[in-house]
Structure 1
Amino acid sequence: MNQQEYGTSLAGLVESGHRLLAQAGVSTPLNDARLLLADALECDLHQLDQALLLDRTVAELLTNEGGRRQAGGFQSAALERYRSYLQRRTGREPLQYILGHAYFRYLDLRLGPGVFIPRPETETVVQAGVDALTGVNHPLAVDLCSGSGAIGLSLATEVPGARVRAVEVDEQAYRWGALNAAAQEAAIGEAGSDYQLLQADATDPATLSDLDAQVDLVISNPPYVPLDAIPDQPEVRDWDPDLALYGGSPDGCLLPCRILDRAMVLLAPGGLLVMEHDASQGPAMVAAALERGYVQARTHQDLAGRDRYLTAWRPALVLG
C-alpha cells in the first residue's frame, strides 16, 4: 500500500489499517490501527482521537505540533512508518514489540523480541505481593524468572524501602530487564528502595544462596505453559520466547515445582510465596506446595475468574 492509497484523512488511515488488520485475524484491529498511527505520527492517542472526531487530515493534526512535524518530509516518513507497522502487525508481530513498549501497572516498560510480554493478569499477582509487603520495614523480596522486570520493578517502585533481587537466566530477556531497571532508577530512588538484577538460573540452589532463609516474599511468573498445550495465538506461539513460555513437562508443572523448591529455601520462616500458574494448574500447584511443607496454600483467580496464581507460606518457627 502506498501513500496515495492511504490518503491524507486520519479517518481514512485508521479505516485502512483497521481493514488490513481485521483481514489478518488480529483480535483488536481498530485499537491497534489507532495506536500504530499515533506512534507513527509521534502524537499521543488522545490527540489522535480528538483529531478523528473533528475529521482532520494528517497535515491539520500536525499543524499545531510545530517544527519539523509540519514539513512534508516528516509527513511522508510518518506514513511510511505506519505502512511498515501495519505490515509487521498483519504478520502477527505483537503490538508491544512494534511500539517498543507496554504499560504495566504504573510502569512503562521497554519491550522487544526476546523478552516475554507482561500480561494484565500478572498485575493481580503483583498486587498480592504489594499487599503482603505493605507495612513491613525494608522488606526483602526476590523475583524469580524476572524477564522484563515487570514484577520486581513494580515492587521496588510501589513498596517504600523494598529491597528487591531479580533473577533472569536468558541473556536477551536479561538485557531488556536491565534497560527497564535503568529507566526506573529515579522512581526506585524516590521510593527509597533498592533493586538488583542477576543473570542466573532461578532454580539453582547456588543462586542468591546468601539470602537463604531471609526473604520475606518470593514472587514469580515462571514458564508454565503445558508442552501439550501450544498456544493458538500467533503473537504468543511465534513471538514469545519458548524459554519463558513452556513449563518443561506435558502438564507444565515441572519448572513451577522447581520454583516451589527454591522458594522454600529462600523464604524466612513465615515468608510468603506468590507464583503465577496456568488456569489448569490450580489444584496441582496447591497439592505440590503442601507436599513440600508450605502451609495455607491456595489458588486465586484473575479478573476473568480463572485460577491464576498460588499463595503459600513457609511455616513460622514454633518456639516451645
Structure 2
Amino acid sequence: MTLPLEPFGTTETVIRAAPIGICITGAEGHFEMVNPAYCDFYGYREQELLGQHFTLLVPEADHALMNDLHARFIAGDGDTEASHECEVRSKDGRPRSILATATRIQDDRGSVKKVTFVVDITARKAMEQRLDFLAHHDELTGLLNRRAGLGLLEEEIQRSRRYGTPLCVASCDLDHFKRVNDRHGHAVGDRVLNDTARMMKQAMRQHDHVIRLGGEEFLLLLPGVTQDEASQAVERLRQRLASTPIADVRLHLTLSAGIAQLEGDEQADALLERADRALYGAKDQGRNRVRDTA
C-alpha cells in the first residue's frame, strides 16, 4: 500500500475526520501524524506529540516490550495487520485500555510506516474486571463467595494431602443477626456484615481464607494448623467480635463457630458437615462459643 505523506491531501482529510484515534509512526517509532481524536483521547495537543516517540504514551514497564514489537512489525516479522489490547497512559497519568489495530504501509519514497487505529475500551475492560470479581467474590463484603470458597477448599484439601500438613475449617454464624435487620433496617445490617467481614480478615492470618457463604454465615479455611490451634484462633476472633462495637450504631455481636480438622481421605462435603454439626452444638449450648468435633 502506498500513502503519500507530503502533502497528505485526501488521505489527510479522511484521517483527521475519523472518529477514532489514528496515528502514523515512522520506522524508529516517532509520531509523524496524529489526528484530533487521537489527541483528544490522550489529552495532548498535536504539537506535543509530533516528533515524540510513541512510548511517551506507554507505561515505563512496557517500553522494552513495545519497542521490540514495533521493530518486528516494521521489519515485516508477522502479519501486515495486527490487533492487540494494551494499557496506555493519558497526559494526566490516568491508565486507559485500548484496542490497537496496526497496519504496515510504505510512502511514495518506499519508507515503511506504521498506521495505528486506537479504540477506547476502558469502560469495557472495567466491566469485564467487575464481572470477573463478582463471579468469585461477595459483592457486599468483598470476601470470596460460596462457589469460589468451596473451590478453594478443594485446593486446600489436595495441598494438605500432598504435603502432609493439617487443614481445619470453621463454620461460623453471627448470633441473632435477624434482630439487627428487624431493629435497625437492612442498610444497617449490610454495614454490620461489611464491618464484621473486615474484622474477620484482620483477625486471621494472611494465608487463612474468609468466605461468605450467604447471609450471616461464614466459612474459615485454616491451612497448616491443628484443630486445637484452629479453636484458639477462632476463639480469639469470637472474643474480639464480642468486645468491639460494630458499625456506626455501635452494636455488639457474638459469634458461634464449629471447628473440624481434615481426616484421612475425607471429602470436602463430609468435612463441612462435621464443622456444621459442631456449630449446631455451639448454638444448642447457648451461642457465643466455639466448639470443635472432639
TM-score normalised per structure 1: 0.28
> Bigger radius of gyration, 1 or 2?
2
TM-score normalised per structure 2: 0.30
Higher strand share: 2
